[in-house]
A and B are shown apart, each in its own frame.
Chain A
Amino acid sequence: KNEVEQSPQNLTAQEGEFITINCSYSVGISALHWLQQHPGGGIVSLFMLSSGKKKHGRLIATINIQEKHSSLHITASHPRDSAVYICAVRITGNQFYFGTGTSLTVIP
């Protein structure tokens, strides 16, 4: 069993739709990260959460520490949001467990 589970694995949405990606984890963490990976491999860190909720532009991330669950929301989705979104939890030091990613395709 993976320490970090994401759902869905694949997601196709029409431009403008509201999108939710979920992440559940089974280990004690010091922080949770949402990462964006575009074709070619480069990873961009979107959010780091240890509690509550954060918002950046059209992206919103929430975490419930008690339930060991986090969600990434994208409002008014756009084709440029198409990417793989990865949930990663930080355990000791700077070591991470990663989810397998959610591949998002936004169709114009």
Chain B
Amino acid sequence: ETGVTQSPTHLIKTRGQQVTLRCSSQSGHNTVSWYQQALGQGPQFIFQYYREEENGRGNFPPRFSGLQFPNYSSELNVNALELDDSALYLCASSFGLSGQSNYGYTFGSGTRLTVV
């Protein structure tokens, strides 16, 4: 079974630019969640996609948007980048929305975004 793959692994962007981060979910998973982890902090929930629709969103502005594709892979898009957007962006996939479904919650290794 494949794990969660994120690309790119590292990225440097200039303030004001736009960025797209990608996540391939684990085989058999249909739910993808995105998290932002600032240096020295725990991950913060951005949003979750289930069967191609957004299913929950954290406290992030609208310039953070996402997509989920029919193969359940996902993109995170950030417009008008700010310096504070510099962080590790983590993707996690799972099956379904049941609070009891587990052992199928798999994290990717993250994309480290630096905004200069």
Contact = CB atoms under 8 A, between A and B. Distances in A.
Q: Which size class do A's interface residues fall under? A: 20 to 34
Nearest to A92: B99
Interface stretch (B62-70, B74-82, B100-108): B100-108
B7 interface: no
A22 to B, nearest CB: 15
Nearest to A41: B110
Interface residues of B, number: 32
B33 A95 contact: yes
A52 interface: no
Interface stretch (A12-20, A42-50, A64-72, A75-83): A42-50
Contacts of B110: 41-43
Interface in A29-79: 30-31, 33, 35, 40-45, 48
Contacts of B90: 41, 43
Contacts, number: 73
Chain A interface secondary structure, helix, strand, loop or mixed? strand
B107 A43 contact: yes
A90 B99 contact: yes
Given A93-B55, A94-B33, A100-B41, A40 B100 contact: no
Interface string B32-58: 010101001111110010100001100
A95 B48 contact: yes
22 contacts: A31-B102, A41-B110, A42-B107, A42-B108, A43-B107, A44-B107, A45-B105, A86-B42, A86-B43, A88-B42, A88-B43, A90-B99, A93-B48, A94-B31, A94-B94, A94-B101, A96-B45, A98-B42, A98-B43, A98-B44, A99-B42, A100-B42
